[in-house]
Amino acid sequence: MKKAHLFLAMSSLLSIQTFANPFIDDLSMSLTTRNYYLNRDFTDFKPIAGSKDWAQGFIFKINSGYTPGKVGFGLDMQTLTSVKLQGDSKYLGSGLLTTDAVTRERADTASEIGLTGKMKYKNTELKVGTIQPWTPVIFSSPSRLLPQTFRGAIIQSTDVKNLELTAAYIDQVNHRDSTNNEDLSNIGFNGRFQSAKTDHFSMLGAKYNLSPKTQAGIYYGIAKDLYNQAAINFKNTYAIKDDTQLITDLRLWNSRDNGEAKAGKIDNSLITANLGLNHQNHTLTLSTMQNYGDTAHPYLSGGEVLIFIDGWSTDFLNPNERVYSVRYDYDFKNYIPGLKFMTRYTKGKNIHLPHLGGNHLKEDSLDFDLQYTVQTGRLKGLGLRGRYAHYDNNFAQNASFKPANETRINIDYTWKFK
C-alpha cells in the first residue's frame, strides 16, 4: 500500500510537468538524518529500569512549487523512516521507535509516507492531507526521532498586513513512534483524566504583529466531546541598550469540558509568565506557571504544550500546580561560533493528586543543554546536541512521571538537493 502511495505521488509530480515552470522550478528536496540516543534511568522504581533507545531517523521531503494562474496547486511528499540501533524490551519505549504495547519489542525498521495537496491564492494557502500545525492549542511535536503528524486540513492567510490567520480541521494523528494514523485522544498522565477518543479537533487563530518587536495572538480549539480551549499570548522585546534587551512572554489558556465530556470534568486555567534579560551573550530568564481550577491542563496525546518551561521528564501541568523556574543561556559566538549552553532549575509544588499521595505534592528538575552547529566547510549545518536532566518528585510509585536521570544525545544533518 505504501509503495502504491509512493508511485502515485511520483506519477503526479512527473505528469504535472506539462504545466508552466513554477511547479517544478520552485520545487525543493531535502533529506534530514537524525541519530538519537535517549536514556531515562529511573532512580526510585525497581520493576522497570527506565526508557532507553538508540535510533537513526531519516526525513525526506519533496515540496513542489505552484501551478501558474490566480489559484495555484501543488503537492508535497514526506517520508519518515526509523532504524533501530539499540532497543531492549526490558525498558519502556522512549518514543523514538515503534514499540509493541504488550511485549515492548521495538521494530527494527519502520517507514511511513505523508502526502499533502496544497492550493494558494495570493497569500492564502490551504493544505489537505498530512499536516503539521504549530499553534498554542495544537502543534506537531518535534522532540523525538521523527515528528508527530496529523491528517486534516489547515488554511493560513497573511493577506492582511501584520496579521496571520489560521484555521484547521484534524481527524487523525500519526504519533512520533508510530507508522499509522489513529483516532485523536486526550493525554491521561498521572490519571488526571479518563483516556478518551474524539472524532475531530478544530481550531481558529490569529496572530498580529503590533510592531517588529511586539506580537499578540488568540486561538480557540475544540476537541469534540472532550474539551474547548482558548489561548492568548503576548510577546514583547524592549531594547534597554544596544546590547541589552528585556523580553516579556505571557501566555494564558482556559479549558472546559464539552459535549459528552468523555474524559470527565475539565476545568483549568493555565497562566505562564516569562521575563528574560539578554545582555550581549548572556540571557537570564525567570518564569512561573500557575494552574487554576479543579483539574489539570488538557492536551492531545502524543504531543506537548507550547510552554517556555519545557520539562523533559515531566510536563509540570498537574492540578493546582504552582511552578517557578530560573534559566540561564550563554552563546559562545565570540569564541566558538555555533556553540550554545543552557541550564535551568524548575520546581513545581502544591500539586493536587490525592490518588498519587496527597494534595501538596512537589516535583523539580535540573536541566543542562549543550549544542554545537558547524558553521563552515563541508559539514556546515551539522548539529550536535547533548542534554541531561535530574528529575525528582514525591508522587506514588504508580505515577506516570518517575524520578529519573535522563540523557539525550542527537546528531542532525540536512542535505538540500534543490
Close Cβ partners of 18 (under 8 Å, ≥ 6 residues apart)? none
User: What pLDDT was estimated at residue 304?
Assistant: 87
Ranking 59-73, 141-155, 229-243, 300-314 by mean pLDDT, the lowest is 300-314
Strand 28-42 to strand 358-373: parallel, antiparallel, or no bridges (unpaired)?
A: unpaired
Residue 175 backbone class (left: φ over 0; alpha: ψ -120 to 50; beta: rest) = beta
State pLDDT tens for residues 197-242: 999 999 999 999 999 999 999 999 999 999 999 999 999 999 999 9
Q: Does 327 have pLDDT greater than 80?
A: yes
Close Cβ partners of 152 (under 8 Å, ≥ 6 residues apart)? 128, 131, 168, 169, 170, 171, 172, 200
CA 239 – CA 223 distance, rounded (Å): 40
Whether this model's pTM surpasses 0.95 = no
Sequence ranges of the domains in the chain: 1-121
Which of 14-23, 38-47, 186-195, 282-291 has the highest mean predicted lDDT (pLDDT)? 282-291
State pLDDT tens for residues 97-128: 999 989 999 999 999 999 999 999 999 999 99
